[in-house]
Amino acid sequence: MNASYIALGCLVLFALAYRFYARYISTKIFQLDLLNEEKTPALKYEDGIDFVPTRKEILIGHHFSSIAGAAPIVGPAVAAIWGWVPAILWIVFGVIFIGACHDFGTLFVSMKNNGKSIAEFTEGLLGLRTKYLFLIIIFFLVWMVIAVFTLVIANLFISYPASVIPINFEIIVAVLLGLYINHHKGDLKIPSILAQIGLIIMVFVGTKYPISLDPLFGQSSLMAWIIFLLIYSFIASVLPVWMLLQPRDFINSHQLFLGLGLLLVGLFVTSPTIVAPAINPNPVGAPPWFPFLFITIACGAISGFHGLVSGGTTSKQIQKWTDARPIGYGSMLGEGLLALIATLAVTAGFESKALWHNHYATWNAANGLSAKINAFVTGSSKFLNSIGISEDISQTFIAVLIISFAATSLDTACRIQRYIIAEFGDVTGVKVLKNRYIGSSIAVLSALFLMLTSDGGKGGLHLWPLFGATNQMLAGLSLIIISVYLYKNRRPCKSFLIPAFFILAMTFMSLVLNIQHYLNEKKFLLLVLGVFLTLSQLWIIIESFFLLKNLKNK
């Protein structure tokens, strides 16, 4: 099968979904057109730190970059072992009917409730007890996100030292751009174009002058990068959003569009044949594809973390209600496109079937997760080579792209964790937790503790299966909460309730299988977390069921 035909067909489906299904949700369910006379939370509570009215084009960049982390690359790269057909089908239809609806819905509900997070909103809907459960689930999820993404970026800096200079250049330029936007309110076109040109130049510079910490730290280079990244995350999470978060994400969004555009052009020019099997249901050492496919490809199809971004930062910055459609639904389609390209890169980027089968011989072949990311870099580089970009520059460019995605999700996660810790401070009466410096310190130090507890910084990767299940569980529960809200307000809710049942069923089955595995392997910390998360999921579903029943009887 020619990969370019698959890409073209999926692009058409995404365009039709935005044109028709997103408009149906926007006008018939959320009725956004009727709300533009009502002030958004960004205008009601403007404070210059978290509530900041922001132009749509900048906010799309922030939201898109924040949700488009490393997971939509890693997930498809791992799930390709079961074959390209199930991966593509889940990405396309998962995004259209579940993931994009989830992101749009969590954004809308948060905006309608003064920028509250899903946990805060749940208290008013289902009570304080359920809010506690949501807060704990979210804390565990974001805890794992910070740990895993920090470790992924650190490993990429070690594997691709040419990426160090471009990434640090990007941070410096983002701060300068943020200061320019805030103080001069100038046009962004020229500064953003100059930033992209400078970043491309730095890709060449970084390729010629790679930076490695090995001469200074030796075997401790991984931990050194982890410490540096957590310090950066702390700083990013306490600064006003206009100073670093917004301009960095704005730059990243252009970088993302440029990268996706080049990869698509390269894909169509190359027109490679997919060498991976269409269906490979029983690979050696792999868990069953059903239900684990729907957990492994998380962010590329649906992700609970996206709801935290929607309700944590994005809902506090939207100026117009109608902006929620392109930001919420449209950005998730963009993430689906990234996951689609990742799938095609690792299934059509190999020179032969033999090489693919050698790389994917077993579930843990070629050092597991790191090898899957490298497969994406190699496959994507092949697409860029076809349009005249040399192999070393291509690999640096792709590595910078992945790190940029992961870094925006990382600093957004730290900010969200600060919000969650502040909410714990509210419900427990411990006011010091509401201090943003204390909250951010707890966020980064707890993630560091997680990585230190296992094998010199590799603890985050040991949590990846539980991270995927927790991520999808939160997404399913958020869809339940959106459905209850819509039902309570006499709005159609089937577009959210049916996907909620499906994703929660997949999550429940995978959690049960994970618990059995942890018990057999005597991984007691993961066992306790898995059991707790499973029981919490059942509790929230039961609470929601009784609320729906009571509403129906009224």
Q: Which amino acid is at 97?
A: F
Res 392: pLDDT: 92
How do residues 179-192 score in pLDDT, each as one tens digit? 887 776 666 667 77
pLDDT at 118 over 90: no
- Give the residue, 137 or 231, on which the prediction is more confident: 231
- Give the residue, 95 or 218, on which the prediction is more confident: 95
The whole-number average pLDDT for the span 309-315 is 84
- The 3-state secondary structure of 108-171 reads HHHHHCCCCCHHHHHHHHHCHHHHHHHHHHHHHHHHHHHHHHHHHHHHHHHHCHHHHHHHHHHH
pLDDT at 220 over 60: yes
Residues in Cβ contact with 177 at an 8 Å cutoff, skipping those fewer than 6 apart: 191, 192, 195, 247, 250, 251
Res 120: pLDDT: 79
pLDDT at 456 over 80: no
How do residues 61-87 score in pLDDT, each as one tens digit? 778 877 877 778 888 988 999 999 999
pLDDT band at 462 (very low <50, low <70, confident <90, very high): low
How do residues 122-160 score in pLDDT, each as one tens digit? 877 777 778 788 888 888 888 888 888 888 888 889 989
Q: How far is it, in rounded angstroms, from Cα 340 to Cα 274?
A: 13
Res 540: pLDDT: 82
Average pLDDT, the chain: 86
pLDDT at 457 over 50: no
Residues in a beta bridge with 273:
2
- Give the residue, 29 or 535, on which the prediction is more confident: 29
Query: Residues, the chain, total?
Result: 554
The whole-number average pLDDT for the span 288-317 is 88
Res 207: pLDDT: 95
How do residues 375-393 score in pLDDT, each as one tens digit? 888 889 889 998 999 989 9
- Give the residue, 255 or 231, on which the prediction is more confident: 231
As given in the structure block, the two tokens for residue 329 are: 């639904």
DSSP for residue 241: T
Residues in Cβ contact with 290 at an 8 Å cutoff, skipping those fewer than 6 apart: none
Residues in a beta bridge with 2:
273
Q: How far is it, in rounded angstroms, from Cα 256 to Cα 445?
A: 30
pLDDT at 460 over 60: no
Q: How far is it, in rounded angstroms, from Cα 102 to Cα 337?
A: 17
pLDDT band at 463 (very low <50, low <70, confident <90, very high): low
Q: Which amino acid is at 62?
A: H
Query: Which range among 104-118, 119-133, 292-306 shows the weakest confidence by mean pLDDT?
Result: 119-133
* pTM (global) more than 0.85: yes
How do residues 402-419 score in pLDDT, each as one tens digit? 888 788 778 878 888 998
Q: How far is it, in rounded angstroms, from Cα 246 to Cα 66?
A: 10
pLDDT band at 227 (very low <50, low <70, confident <90, very high): very high
The whole-number average pLDDT for the span 517-545 is 82
Res 206: pLDDT: 95
- Output the CA–CA distances (angstroms, integers) from residue 365 to 72, 101, 358, 369, 372, in the order listed: 20, 35, 8, 9, 9
Res 187: pLDDT: 64
Res 272: pLDDT: 93
pLDDT band at 1 (very low <50, low <70, confident <90, very high): confident
pLDDT at 467 over 50: yes
Res 459: pLDDT: 47
